[in-house]
Chain A
Amino acid sequence: MSKKEDFVKFDKVDKSYDGKVLVVKDLNLDIEEGEFVTMLGPSGSGKTTCLMMLAGFETPTNGEIYLDKNPISNIPPHKRGIGMVFQNYALFPHMTVFENLAFPLRVRKISKDNIDKKVEKALSMVSLSGFGNRMPGQLSGGQQQRVAVARALVFDPSVVLMDEPLGALDKNLRESMQYEIKHIHESIGVTVVYVTHDQGEALTMSNRIAVFNDGKVQQLSSPDKLYEEPVNSFVAEFIGENNTFAGEISSISNGSCKVKLAEGEIIANPISVKSVGEKTTVSIRPERALINPKDKMDNNQKGKIEEVIYHGDHTRVRLNLLGNSEFILKVPNSSQNLDIKLGNEINIGWNSQDARALDPK
């Protein structure tokens, strides 16, 4: 079976609640069948609104959403056949775990034997066999979460939506649940649209990530591309850690440009700049800048150490470099003791390929 390319499609969708402000602006998004797509963004960026429109609890102000090529704006939520996991699980507190899972099957008038089989299968999928007779209130947060996931999957929906499902769990549990959900997704191949504001979660779980800001998708790409090759300064800033220099293009040639900063000049990789004189923000990941580089690098600068923070497996060093006193370096602790002491001056080098000249902030 070939996978459908645009199984879920947002086509020029706008959404406004009050008729004055657009919460979602001209959203175009294609999701492939069986894909795990995460909508990532700060709160108020419109990601949950998109999910609610897909689920049918909100209607687009403009544009259309297609599910398997069919427009769904006029289909009520209960006929869309989309499973959903809610932020606070939304388990029915007056029903047992079994009844919770059987609910979507019962409203579909599935025979009793089949219900028993499917519920049992769904419970074992989230390793909660034997918990059928418990009430949701008797379960721990992680178990409730798993019941919610099982309930959203038990009726074999084509798409499952997850709205910050791990937000209420503690850190360790959250991490193990991330893997669990990922494995469930891989084993049954359902299309998952996942909403979170936690970038770690998004990077771990997704096939592709849509970074939302200000009602728009800033970048839609795989986790590694998103981290390594952000297309604008918002994404660079939002995903992972980032060192920035604000400056102006002084010369530009094939695949390389010179950026004039307040103090000095660096060589960068022009991404969203085209001509001399443009303002730009240059973004460098902390791990791409090295101390006393052995190989020759096309950027070499001297910086003064202002702060050293021990982090166990690595040490974070804050430098004052080219007038930027927030320049962060990550130094692995295994390396031979370098000259990292407060107040020392050290040599820093990076490749111009890793210094991405993006839009100005």
Chain B
Amino acid sequence: MSSEQKILSTDGIPLEESLKQAEKKNKIKAFLLVTPLLLFLIITYIIPIADMFSRSIDDKMVTNMLPKTYKAMEQWDGKELPPEEVFKAFYLDYKILVENKTAGKLQTQLNYEKNGFKSVLKKLARKQKKFEEGNYKEQIMKVHKRWRNVDYWRAIKRRAPAYTYSKYLKGVDMYSNEDGKIVQVAEDRRIHRILWSRTLEVAFFVTLFCFLMAYPIAHLLATLPMKYSNLLMICVLLPFWTSLLVRTASWMILLQQQGLVNDFFVWIGLVTDDNRPEMMYNKTGTYVAMTQILLPFMVLPLYSVMKTISPSLMRAGKSLGATPGVAFFKIYFPLTIPGIGAGCLLVFILAIGYYITPALVGGASGTLISNQIAYHMKSTLDWSFASAMGLMLLTGVLVIYWIYNKLVGVDNIKLG
């Protein structure tokens, strides 16, 4: 390379630099054009996710309420009852909380950690007004015998870190016990795992049903003459343009026990009048409504791929001696895989986070993980838990995307 002379532009600057300078302006312009979108993405996507993440692991509340206690506890090994300084520090912290009338929060939080903590703390709040200075260990232990139990002090210490992953454990029905070991919750309280598996199951079957129904429709759309295919396309898109709530509500009208579908079944004699099947407020309702609502997301990518497949390929296959079935599976089907991939991914990801439809037609056995998230957002106000589950859902989607990429390859997806 050294023997090669650098190429200079006419005014003596090396060509490479000159090129960079000339392109700089264009690059800045191009960047400015995308900045609004970039800002929009940061504000509406990245920041909320970051906020969710910090909320889901944030455990500063207890830490901030008991600053002196945790300072004193740093030396304590947690094997036996803590020394006098810890008791003193706890007394001082708790006194401030009681005076500020914020002790309630601490009581609730510590009760999460160890059952029965609330009453102990309430009693202490009443009795501590009469405390004398010095020897707080004796005085506190006198208030309630549980203060002699080292488990309660360990419970306080467990809340020392400002960050915790306990919400994530709770999301999969686990918790870390007194000894800091991660164990499962009692069998009758494992509700989240059921919800996760049900969410995956519903998403899987909705994707499957959508695929089975959309494939022939998309094929028809791609092969019919223009005037018919336009009409069919409108039929596919019409529900798409209708409000989600309206569509879900109309399914409620159709599927309920006294609804049209049941009436029809009775009328044709499929079931007797007093034995109408329940098609709503269970998984059936969720399947039916979600499949219908998500169908266009499968039809459109499939259609866009099928449209590009020349009909002469099938003809070529047949002329070469393949039966129509073989020609379909060896030629047509493999060529539609990019569309199948895109449609399935789209429907699956949408289905896994679906909320309104299962909430309205799902009933108790048809609710999904997103309904649980909404429940914690609105009813228990445990936002950190809701955030943790939301992030777990997001991670799940990313994992599915990753697996999908390994299996099919994202480059092979065609969305349109």
Cβ of A78 and Cβ of B313 under 8 Å apart?
Answer: no
Query: Which residues of the partner chain A approach B321 to less than 8 Å between Cβ atoms?
Result: 78-79, 81, 104, 107-108, 155
Interface residues as binary, A79-105 with B (CB distance below 8 Å gives 1, 0 otherwise)? 111111011101111100000000110
**Range class of the A interface residue count:** 20 to 34
Cβ of A86 and Cβ of B312 under 8 Å apart?
Answer: yes
Q: How far is the CB of A114 from chain B (nearest CB, A)?
A: 15
Would you call A142 an interface residue if the criterion is a C-beta within 8 Å of the partner chain's C-beta atoms? Answer: no
Binds A, one of B273-281, B323-331, B391-399: B323-331
**Residue among B317, B320, B331 making CB contact with A83, cutoff 8 Å:** B320
Interface residues as binary, B319-360 with A (CB distance below 8 Å gives 1, 0 otherwise)? 111111011001100110000000000000000000000000
Would you call B123 an interface residue if the criterion is a C-beta within 8 Å of the partner chain's C-beta atoms? Answer: no
Query: Which residues of the partner chain B approach A82 to less than 8 Å between Cβ atoms?
Result: 319
Query: Which residues of the partner chain B approach A56 to less than 8 Å between Cβ atoms?
Result: 318-319
**Residue among A76, A88, A103, A152 making CB contact with B317, cutoff 8 Å:** A103
Query: Which residues of the partner chain A approach B38 to less than 8 Å between Cβ atoms?
Result: none
Chain A: interface secondary structure? loop
Q: How far is the CB of A156 from chain B (nearest CB, A)?
A: 11
Cβ of B323 and Cβ of A90 under 8 Å apart?
Answer: no
Q: How far is the CB of B339 from chain A (nearest CB, A)?
A: 13
Which single residue of chain B is at the shortest CB-CB distance from A82?
B319
Q: How far is the CB of A90 from chain B (nearest CB, A)?
A: 4
A161 to B334, CA, bound (A): 26
A107 to B317, CA, bound (A): 10
A152 to B331, CA, bound (A): 16
Would you call B162 an interface residue if the criterion is a C-beta within 8 Å of the partner chain's C-beta atoms? Answer: no
Those of B303-324 within 8 Å (CB) of chain A = 310, 312-313, 315-324
Asked, given contacts A86-B315, A90-B316, whether A103 binds B322 with beta carbons under 8 Å apart, the answer is: yes
Those of A310-328 within 8 Å (CB) of chain B = none
A90 to B319, CA, bound (A): 11
Query: Which residues of the partner chain B approach A77 to less than 8 Å between Cβ atoms?
Result: 315, 318-319
Cβ of B322 and Cβ of A107 under 8 Å apart?
Answer: yes
Cβ of A104 and Cβ of B320 under 8 Å apart?
Answer: yes
Interface residues as binary, A32-76 with B (CB distance below 8 Å gives 1, 0 otherwise)? 000000000000000000000001110000000000000000001
A78 to B312, CA, bound (A): 14
Query: Which residues of the partner chain B approach A88 to less than 8 Å between Cβ atoms?
Result: 310, 312
Q: How far is the CB of A165 from chain B (nearest CB, A)?
A: 12
Q: How far is the CB of A323 from chain B (nearest CB, A)?
A: 49
Cβ of B326 and Cβ of A86 under 8 Å apart?
Answer: no
Would you call A151 an interface residue if the criterion is a C-beta within 8 Å of the partner chain's C-beta atoms? Answer: yes
Asked, given contacts A103-B317, A103-B330, whether A90 binds B322 with beta carbons under 8 Å apart, the answer is: no
A93 to B317, CA, bound (A): 12
Cβ of A83 and Cβ of B319 under 8 Å apart?
Answer: yes
A84 to B315, CA, bound (A): 9
Q: How far is the CB of B233 from chain A (nearest CB, A)?
A: 25
Query: Which residues of the partner chain B approach A155 to less than 8 Å between Cβ atoms?
Result: 320-321
**Range class of the B interface residue count:** 10 to 19
Which single residue of chain B is at the shortest CB-CB distance from A55?
B319
Query: Which residues of the partner chain B approach A93 to less than 8 Å between Cβ atoms?
Result: 335
Query: Which residues of the partner chain B approach A108 to less than 8 Å between Cβ atoms?
Result: 321
**Residue among A57, A76, A94, A107 making CB contact with B320, cutoff 8 Å:** A107
Q: How far is the CB of A217 from chain B (nearest CB, A)?
A: 24
Interface residues as binary, A117-144 with B (CB distance below 8 Å gives 1, 0 otherwise)? 0000000000000000000000000000
Which single residue of chain A is at the shortest CB-CB distance from B323?
A78
A262 to B230, CA, bound (A): 57
Cβ of B319 and Cβ of A78 under 8 Å apart?
Answer: yes
Cβ of A90 and Cβ of B335 under 8 Å apart?
Answer: no
A108 to B323, CA, bound (A): 10
Query: Which residues of the partner chain A approach B316 to less than 8 Å between Cβ atoms?
Result: 84, 86, 90-92
Which single residue of chain A is at the shortest CB-CB distance from B335?
A94
Those of B259-291 within 8 Å (CB) of chain A = none
Q: How far is the CB of B14 from chain A (nearest CB, A)?
A: 38
A251 to B319, CA, bound (A): 56
A55 to B318, CA, bound (A): 10
A199 to B322, CA, bound (A): 34
A76 to B321, CA, bound (A): 10
A108 to B321, CA, bound (A): 7
Cβ of B331 and Cβ of A92 under 8 Å apart?
Answer: yes
A108 to B326, CA, bound (A): 11
Asked, given contacts A76-B318, A77-B318, A103-B320, whether A90 binds B310 with beta carbons under 8 Å apart, the answer is: yes
A92 to B316, CA, bound (A): 9
Asked, given contacts A83-B320, A94-B334, A94-B335, whether A57 binds B315 with beta carbons under 8 Å apart, the answer is: yes
Cβ of B315 and Cβ of A90 under 8 Å apart?
Answer: yes
Q: Which of B320, B322, B324 has the largest number of chain A CB atoms within 10 A?
A: B320
Cβ of A151 and Cβ of B310 under 8 Å apart?
Answer: no
A87 to B321, CA, bound (A): 19
A103 to B319, CA, bound (A): 11
A98 to B321, CA, bound (A): 17
A152 to B330, CA, bound (A): 18
Q: How far is the CB of A188 from chain B (nearest CB, A)?
A: 17
A107 to B318, CA, bound (A): 10
Asked, given contacts A55-B319, A77-B318, A155-B321, whether A107 binds B313 with beta carbons under 8 Å apart, the answer is: no
User: Nearest 7 A-B pairs (CB), nearest first?
Assistant: A104-B320, A90-B316, A84-B319, A90-B312, A77-B318, A107-B322, A78-B318
Q: What are 24 inter-chain pairs, A to B, with CB distance below 8 A?
A: A77-B319, A78-B318, A78-B320, A78-B321, A78-B322, A78-B324, A82-B319, A83-B320, A84-B316, A84-B319, A86-B312, A86-B315, A87-B312, A88-B312, A90-B313, A92-B313, A94-B335, A103-B317, A104-B320, A104-B321, A104-B322, A107-B322, A107-B323, A155-B321
Q: A92-B313, A94-B335 are in contact. List 12 more A-B contacts (CB 8 A).
A: A57-B315, A78-B320, A81-B321, A84-B316, A88-B310, A90-B310, A90-B315, A90-B316, A91-B316, A103-B322, A108-B321, A161-B319
